[in-house]
Amino acid sequence: MQPAMKKANPTLIALVLGVLVLLGIWVYRTFSKPELHGTVVQAMPTIPDIELTDTSGKPHSLHHDPGVKLVFFGFTRCPDICPATMSILKRAYENAGSPKNVKVYLVSVDPETDTPAVLKKYVEYFQKDFIGLTGEGDQIAQLANAFYVGFQENPDGMVTHTDTVAVLDEQNRMRLIYNQEKLGQGLLDQDLPALSRGL
């Protein structure tokens, strides 16, 4: 005579299924890549190792610093877009907890005016952790070209320039670009905590 089969406990089955569902959610959230809102740079070009001059007057390349980098080309006399963008970068950086593995750069497109001392005062007004870079015109033009950034001085002395923020990964490859529309919508603010964990 066959022994009687025990009936499965419905409560136990429900409990086990619940635990498995919660485990699946945790694994997905922990290991899946979050959706980022910047425009993806498909070519992922590696930015060249070009030495400019930092606000202490010392040679400084983007390659000197580890981690993820946010790079904006602008100038201290800029009346609107530059201070607005620097304010957005400050807000995003501080809201993300000022992550140590994220560096934020302002590269001057007006090196004749933006001496290291002028740039230092400007950058530190927004955030003391931010890095200002200036240098010779041809060096800046070479670096700007690698970022697909254009700039030119107008007859009135102001400089017209591309106003995007580029994101470099740990290998100095350009991975994302945030235009002014995305910056204004707070999408960099949303993405920076995830970006700070690496690309």
- Known binding residues are 78, 82, 161
Structure tokens belonging to residue 50: 């070009």
Task: Give the whole-angstrom CA distance, residue 179 versus residue 188.
Answer: 10
Annotated binding site for Cu cation: 78, 82, 161
Which residue carries 């007004």 as its tokens? Answer: 125
Task: Give the whole-angstrom CA distance, residue 109 versus residue 163.
Answer: 11
Structure tokens belonging to residue 32: 């899946």
Of 157, 175, 105, 165, nearest to 135 by C-alpha is 105
Q: Tell me, what amino acid is at 24?
A: G
DSSP H/E element including 168: strand 165-168
